[in-house]
Amino acid sequence: QSALTQPASVSGSPGQSITISCTGTSSDVGGYNYVSWYQQHPGKAPKLMIYDVSNRPSGVSNRFSGSKSGNTASLTISGLQAEDEADYYCSSYTSSSPLVVFGGGTKLTVL
Amino acid sequence: QVQLQQSGPGLVKPSQTLSLTCAISGDSVSSSSAAWNWIRQSPSRGLEWLGRTYYRSKWYNDYAVFVKSRTTINPDTSKNQFSLQLNSVIPEDTAVYYCARDSLLTGDLAFDIWGQGTMVTVSS
């Protein structure tokens, strides 16, 4: 069982917006602004999409945005495109070992 | 651009040692603004961070407590690479192993560069 809780799946139509939640505790998500989000296509390594809750690395589309409220972080993808279909994982720094914990992943289906 | 290239065997016998290497191009293992991590992924356990090595005037290591007694992550400055050794492996260590960089430019423990992954199977 993963330390952070994500919905197993979400879906949306092209052009729509979806939000993926990531729930932790005050020892990880709620206690620090070190939440990251990753996109993973089948057979590929994860790709960093969001870091420090809401920052986008260079080259990541501004259709991807992150936020946090209390112990829950969220990833929003606007203007859904077929290429966004992938698995998405959240991670957070944690005050105990291991230093970083991951969510179980959410499969995004673009209908 | 920065790239990580992994190498190592894909099959390890139970009780033996898993050894993987991650060669760095476009950055330095001795960089004072980066850390070099190992992460694994399996269907049963998901993504798990195993540990990291980094240089801040001297070398440091951090390990996940659940593998700390069996794990060593070492830098090799002469070859600009770092390695993972996981001792006394069991079938539950079967996973895809990734090396990854976290950089001060993208926050602590946010992994912006990943290796290609190595599927390691623990089986006799």
- Across B46-62, average pLDDT: 96
Digit-coded pLDDT (tens) for A22-75: 999 999 999 999 999 999 999 999 999 999 999 999 999 999 999 999 999 999
pLDDT score at B105: 85
- Asked whether B23 and B4 are in contact (CB, 8 A), the reply is yes
pLDDT classification of B107: cutoffs 50, 70, 90 = confident
- Angstrom distance (rounded) from CA B95 to CA A3: 18
3-state secondary structure of A50: strand
Confidence of residue B108 (pLDDT cuts 50, 70, 90): confident
Residue count (chain B) = 124
Tokens 């195993």 correspond to what residue?
B50
Q: Examine the pLDDT at A95 and tell me if it is beyond 90.
A: no
Q: What is the band of B9 on the pLDDT scale with cuts at 50, 70, 90? A: very high
Residue A37 forms contact with B (CB below 8 Å): no
CA distance B3 to chain A (A): 12
Alpha carbon separation from A12 to A16, A67, B114 (Å, rounded): 6, 20, 28
Token readout for B43 is 């269907």
Q: Which of A1, A32, A36 to mutate to test the interface with B (most CBs of B within 10 A)?
A: A36
Distance from CA of B24 to the nearest CA of A (A): 16
Cis peptide before A42 (omega within 30 of 0): no
> Cβ of A51 and B112 within 8 Å?
yes
Q: 3-class SS at B98? A: strand
Q: What's the confidence (pLDDT) of residue A1?
A: 63
Q: Report the pLDDT value the prediction gives residue A36, as an integer from 0 to 100.
A: 97
Cα–Cα distance, B71 to B81 (Å, whole number): 17
The rounded mean pLDDT for chain B is 96
Q: What is the pLDDT of residue A2?
A: 67
Sort residue B106 into left (φ over 0), alpha (ψ -120 to 50) or beta: alpha
Dihedral angle sign, alpha carbons of residues A103, A36, B70, A26: negative
Q: What is the model's pLDDT at position B106? A: 86
